[in-house]
Chains A and B, each alone.
Chain A
């Protein structure tokens, strides 16, 4: 027998993977540095198909990376920078230890720095790729921008995050890209559409953070480092796509207005500029100083194979979108000091409204409370002393609900001191069979243009429909059993007769008039179909049957959950009604 003996684990999947520790050694990096590198380069572990094979026979839990990935990391210039940094830290420590202050200073001046531009270009070869991955970056930057300027991370990082998020918000305002917004218990979710990509981000409420101890801030800081670079480049590109200046400049007109009012409040001009930008009240300067560009009407080209109805639907959709963009146009808002200013100002400006606030709340207010042209004042307190007669005093939820409903909702439900209607998530898209809260049905009716006067009836009707459907479902199930019941009854009769016959031989023969069985043809048909289906299910193959059962189980669970919600709602409504009656 010729040939060399084949050794185990020298070919195949064992050679394609590398454990984390080996990878770390191969790159000669410490674990934190390796981690940082993985984060920056977007390298993630892989789960091999046959873990034991890859693990060379051992079943110990290990993290595996693709060997290709690690080889790819070997060529990364940042790895060299990491090593340099390590040396720098060592030197610095030594200098401190020897109290050589001059060398400490010299070393500090020559602290190695690295840039992440090339990594971003490499990870996202096209702009759209980068835009698609921006959700996490925005969430993180918004979180970091709310951190206190002490402790957990560098002040520069926080400032940079703040700057970038302000730029992003200004872009969203300028492009009117916001689509949905949702106040959750975690924070406020926003969804915008930039260049055809839906981007969702979450902004925490403006409170100081209770920093948890079981969170590794180094990891978060590394992510933030990457995200800030990414977001910066994206902002740049987005601003240029709208012909806006970057870094953002305020409109000349707006700037002069702002200058008049509060020039002396802020000592440093540079400081106040960011503040002014973050006030979100003024429009931005454009590269080409043409006034509002008229958006070119999109020409409609009928696409081959697309019928007219389809096209019309698309057109309608576009129109609706346009209308949504101008939702608050012509309305003038004033924010009381207790409402979240930034969020509301952002929203209102996104949809073309004018907004202002008290001068002492923030820089950049454009008009006073006393302005007679204000149409809506947003208030979040039980009552207010001095009320102007020609404006609505509404609670902040109105703005959010309007944005989600894409129409101006009636203000009555949102007046001061009124119990607010539930705030629904705009991200939930109910398919048929799912539970739809009645409030959503109401809003949908409003969107369709139905009058709110019919609201109540509609609601009830719809509810009734639901119930009926449910009942029908139940009936269906019962039907099958009913058929059996009939038979059983018949049988019992027969039995009785037989017994009689066997006991007393003299049969009292009697002919009674038969009853005409009323047969519902529709029901019969249904029954037949159900029976057919059941028989067909019997004939399924084992594999398919398993899958079918699983799917049906899931469906049933969904229905059960929906029913549960509906029942809960009904119980709640009944309780409310009875309470109302009791009050009367």
Chain B
């Protein structure tokens, strides 16, 4: 289609020329009008109505040819161009070719001459071949015969020029007489052409002659010739390409020599070059550079019994060798049809996709297929094999001992708590609002009151207002007296609550009144003793010991005569004071500051005094006044890490092997029972658990120390009970714990303003 349109434009371009050339033709006018129309078509609707265009054009072409032979050459040219461009539209070619067909009759004679000429040519070539050994002069003559100018069509003398030069002329050349040869008049239109194509049996062998502008019908021989040439065969059908070769030099010894030349000398002498080559090869073989062709060895891939003679020579290497671990076996989730619970949910899948490939638990997404035929190839199969290969030869191997422990075996075997009774197990009483004296308990609180409670009924017996937040209080351990030491602010008060038997009250009175005789001759000390009067006296406050600084703790000696108070201070050497009640005397036992004292304690039996600083525990012998350096005699027993938070209070029982610890931030009180394999009870415990974890107030551990190791082989601490009951208020639970002096009961005071008794 494009082609036709292009030809259309071309013809349109040609038309003005034609107008110039033949203005005289009247018919042309009509033609012109049409052409103008065409032009309009060309420029406006070219793209839209190409089909129509084509038809129009064809029509115009044929009309042109009717009126003049002029267009003929133009159409010729078209054809050429079409031939050049590969995609030939056959019909069009046919249409263009047809007009010439009618002229065949006129030019019949001409064709004949052509044929003759061709035949002549053939003859010539044949004669050339045959007369291979003709003389040179004859050849020279022949040169002229073959001259191209002679070969040309004698009817048209234009020579070897392109015929398109005559395109715009009415003639196409000149005859021998110098007269113009006019182009044959094309009087055939499309219809004629078509009819011709249909009716003329020779149509297919009709060829236009460019030089004369006429159509030539090819004869049978000519067609044959064309066919042969197209097939790449010789033009002459009779020519035999495969003539038998005449063996000039053959193996047969002929009677006469072919050449009579005598043999060269060199043909009798061995060749030096050859010798050199041979010697080279020989040398190479000798040196082993060239090896003889190897016998085809097919032993590769042939197998035999390799382990036929199994010598048990296992090298050291084999002992050291670690075989690679096998690939783990697949689980249910790898199945092509797994149970539905192994498939990923959307969330799991999203998570799997987000995870780093090395973090993923599964290296693939489980999938389910309803039948085996739908299972596709696994895309990472080769990858996985390759990774296995890499593992095999690149990974360091190491023997790893896997601990195979039954977790139950790790739990220590302890005696059953049941067998270790008595110990408090149940909460029996709650005192809302510590130190016990057989059946009286007293509490001190921040509101400045000291309360006395009856243990068995939890009844508040008395309340004494001391006028300040109570820091610490302690019952006199001597059972024959009933005295209470209370520490508040910078004062230590000694109370005689007179709640006990008359005898006891009397004996305590005696103790308080005794010192009158001894004058406080060293009154220059930092401590002032004073007796109370008036209301305070009626309340039971008997003595006031004024300290220079705030008192943190008070504690009694076992005999009940001595009293120690602690005033923690970094800078001063006066942190601990020991008071003697009977003589109303105070003394500062230390000359040097050895660290911030946290608590002090007297040994219940022996004359030892323990001072716990933040870092160490020091033991002093009170009799010989010899200082023992802590660790020398102190034997570390065990660390108990039962609490998660800091331990604030610990207590041991005087008679029973019981030990309690409390951590206010943690909640419950934990009871620990110590069991010894030899002498289990009373004195031992009393003497040996003298000072405890109160030292390490802010660690979550309780350390238990004993003084000597003599009697204590393999001490065993058994936790027996966790006592719960206190509410946690302001992040604080149990503040302090104390044992009943005789019964296996424990009191605990909590931040929830209660004291609880566990029996």
Q: Do A and B bind each other?
A: yes
- Kindly report which residue of chain A lies nearest to residue B313, judged by CB atoms: A125
**A537 and B411 within 8 A (CB):** yes
**B381 and A204 within 8 A (CB):** yes
Chain B residue contacts of A46, Cβ below 8 A: 396-397
**B397 and A380 within 8 A (CB):** no
Residue of A35, A126, A423, A551 contacting most chain B CB atoms (<10 Å): A423
- Kindly report which residue of chain A lies nearest to residue B392, judged by CB atoms: A136
Of B323, B336, B725, the residue contacting A184 (CB under 8 A) is B336
The answer, yes or no, to whether B385 is at the interface (CB within 8 Å) is yes
Report Cα–Cα, A209/B324, bound state, in Å: 27
The answer, yes or no, to whether A371 is at the interface (CB within 8 Å) is no
Residue-wise interface mask of A (413-430) relative to B, using a CB-CB cutoff of 8 A (1 in contact, 0 not): 000000110111101100
**B306 and A117 within 8 A (CB):** yes
Q: Known contacts being A185-B367, A185-B375, is A548 close to B335, with CB within 8 Å?
A: no
Of A64, A210, A423, the residue contacting B379 (CB under 8 A) is A210
Residue-wise interface mask of B (370-383) relative to A, using a CB-CB cutoff of 8 A (1 in contact, 0 not): 11110111110111
Of A185, A216, A339, A534, the residue contacting B364 (CB under 8 A) is A185
The answer, yes or no, to whether A81 is at the interface (CB within 8 Å) is no
**B301 and A215 within 8 A (CB):** no
Chain A residue contacts of B641, Cβ below 8 A: 538, 542
Chain A residue contacts of B366, Cβ below 8 A: 185
**A568 and B334 within 8 A (CB):** no
**B407 and A548 within 8 A (CB):** yes
**A547 and B370 within 8 A (CB):** no
Of B323, B338, B394, B720, the residue contacting A422 (CB under 8 A) is B338
Report Cα–Cα, A531/B367, bound state, in Å: 46
Report Cα–Cα, A74/B659, bound state, in Å: 71
Within 8 A of B (CB), among A551-571: 551-552, 555, 565-566, 568-569
Chain A residue contacts of B335, Cβ below 8 A: 182-185, 422-425
Nearest chain A CB to B756 CB, angstrom units: 9
- Kindly report which residue of chain B lies nearest to residue A35, judged by CB atoms: B393
- Kindly report which residue of chain A lies nearest to residue B756, judged by CB atoms: A491
Interface 9-residue window, one of B254-262, B412-420, B463-471, B562-570: B412-420
**B341 and A572 within 8 A (CB):** yes
Within 8 A of B (CB), among A207-250: 207, 209-212, 214-216, 219-220, 223, 228, 232-233, 235-237, 240, 246
Of A132, A186, A536, the residue contacting B414 (CB under 8 A) is A536
Within 8 A of A (CB), among B248-297: 290-291, 293-294, 297
Report Cα–Cα, A45/B393, bound state, in Å: 8
Residue-wise interface mask of B (411-431) relative to A, using a CB-CB cutoff of 8 A (1 in contact, 0 not): 111101110000000010010
**B337 and A428 within 8 A (CB):** no
The answer, yes or no, to whether A259 is at the interface (CB within 8 Å) is no
Chain B residue contacts of A453, Cβ below 8 A: none
Q: Known contacts being A47-B398, A125-B314, is A538 close to B378, with CB within 8 Å?
A: no
Report Cα–Cα, A542/B371, bound state, in Å: 55
Q: Known contacts being A185-B378, A210-B379, A215-B386, is A425 close to B334, with CB within 8 Å?
A: yes
**A205 and B378 within 8 A (CB):** yes
Chain B residue contacts of A419, Cβ below 8 A: 370
Number of interface residues of A (CB under 8 A): 109
Residue-wise interface mask of A (246-260) relative to B, using a CB-CB cutoff of 8 A (1 in contact, 0 not): 100000000000000
Chain B residue contacts of A539, Cβ below 8 A: 412, 414, 717-719
Chain B residue contacts of A207, Cβ below 8 A: 376-377
**A536 and B412 within 8 A (CB):** yes
Within 8 A of A (CB), among B408-466: 410-414, 416-418, 427, 430, 432
**B330 and A425 within 8 A (CB):** yes
**B339 and A422 within 8 A (CB):** yes
**A565 and B313 within 8 A (CB):** no
The answer, yes or no, to whether A39 is at the interface (CB within 8 Å) is yes
Chain A residue contacts of B337, Cβ below 8 A: 183, 397, 420, 422-423
Of A106, A204, A533, A542, the residue contacting B378 (CB under 8 A) is A204
- Kindly report which residue of chain B lies nearest to residue A546, judged by CB atoms: B410
**A424 and B332 within 8 A (CB):** yes
Of A160, A220, A438, A498, the residue contacting B385 (CB under 8 A) is A220
**A187 and B370 within 8 A (CB):** no
Nearest chain B CB to A191 CB, angstrom units: 8
The answer, yes or no, to whether A110 is at the interface (CB within 8 Å) is yes
**A237 and B307 within 8 A (CB):** yes
**B341 and A437 within 8 A (CB):** yes
**B336 and A185 within 8 A (CB):** yes
Nearest chain A CB to B727 CB, angstrom units: 8
Report Cα–Cα, A491/B426, bound state, in Å: 13
Nearest chain A CB to B647 CB, angstrom units: 14
Nearest chain A CB to B97 CB, angstrom units: 53
Q: Known contacts being A184-B335, A237-B307, is A381 close to B373, with CB within 8 Å?
A: yes
**B327 and A135 within 8 A (CB):** yes
Report Cα–Cα, A46/B326, bound state, in Å: 19
Number of interface residues of B (CB under 8 A): 93
Residue-wise interface mask of B (707-747) relative to A, using a CB-CB cutoff of 8 A (1 in contact, 0 not): 00000000001111110110000000000000000000000
Nearest chain B CB to A90 CB, angstrom units: 14
Q: Known contacts being A397-B372, A539-B414, is A547 close to B393, with CB within 8 Å?
A: no
- Kindly report which residue of chain B lies nearest to residue A380, judged by CB atoms: B373
Nearest chain B CB to A16 CB, angstrom units: 13
The answer, yes or no, to whether A113 is at the interface (CB within 8 Å) is yes
Residue-wise interface mask of B (123-142) relative to A, using a CB-CB cutoff of 8 A (1 in contact, 0 not): 00000000000000000000
**A535 and B719 within 8 A (CB):** yes
**B389 and A223 within 8 A (CB):** yes
**B305 and A236 within 8 A (CB):** yes
Of B301, B311, B318, the residue contacting A232 (CB under 8 A) is B301
The answer, yes or no, to whether B395 is at the interface (CB within 8 Å) is yes
The answer, yes or no, to whether B317 is at the interface (CB within 8 Å) is yes
**A487 and B370 within 8 A (CB):** no
Report Cα–Cα, A425/B338, bound state, in Å: 9
The answer, yes or no, to whether A200 is at the interface (CB within 8 Å) is yes
Report Cα–Cα, A186/B417, bound state, in Å: 58
Report Cα–Cα, A13/B669, bound state, in Å: 55
Within 8 A of A (CB), among B334-366: 334-342, 345, 364, 366
Report Cα–Cα, A422/B372, bound state, in Å: 12
**B303 and A232 within 8 A (CB):** yes
Chain A residue contacts of B371, Cβ below 8 A: 380, 395, 420
Of A216, A494, A544, the residue contacting B410 (CB under 8 A) is A544
The answer, yes or no, to whether B331 is at the interface (CB within 8 Å) is yes
Report Cα–Cα, A428/B328, bound state, in Å: 11
Nearest chain B CB to A238 CB, angstrom units: 11
The answer, yes or no, to whether B122 is at the interface (CB within 8 Å) is no
Nearest chain A CB to B707 CB, angstrom units: 23
The answer, yes or no, to whether A127 is at the interface (CB within 8 Å) is yes
Report Cα–Cα, A427/B294, bound state, in Å: 51
Residue-wise interface mask of A (116-129) relative to B, using a CB-CB cutoff of 8 A (1 in contact, 0 not): 01001100011100
The answer, yes or no, to whether B150 is at the interface (CB within 8 Å) is no
- Kindly report which residue of chain B lies nearest to residue A152, judged by CB atoms: B382
Chain A residue contacts of B87, Cβ below 8 A: none
**A183 and B375 within 8 A (CB):** yes
Nearest chain A CB to B413 CB, angstrom units: 8
Of B294, B386, B414, the residue contacting A216 (CB under 8 A) is B386
- Kindly report which residue of chain A lies nearest to residue B393, judged by CB atoms: A39
Q: Known contacts being A44-B392, A548-B410, A551-B407, is A236 close to B334, with CB within 8 Å?
A: no
Can you list 5 A-B contacts with CB-CB less than 8 angstroms, sorted by A residue number? A125-B310, A209-B377, A232-B301, A339-B373, A397-B372
Give B residues with C-beta under 8 Å from A.
290-291, 293-294, 297, 299-301, 303-307, 310-315, 317-318, 321, 323-324, 326-327, 329-332, 334-342, 345, 364, 366-367, 370-373, 375-379, 381-386, 388-390, 392-398, 403, 405, 407, 410-414, 416-418, 427, 430, 432, 641-642, 670, 717-722, 724-725
The 8 closest A-B pairs by CB, nearest first: A427-B329, A207-B377, A47-B396, A569-B341, A568-B341, A422-B339, A232-B303, A184-B334
Q: Apart from A220-B386, A494-B430, A535-B718, what 13 extra A-B contacts exist at CB < 8 Å? A: A63-B394, A125-B315, A136-B388, A139-B388, A184-B334, A185-B364, A186-B334, A204-B378, A209-B377, A424-B338, A425-B332, A498-B432, A535-B414
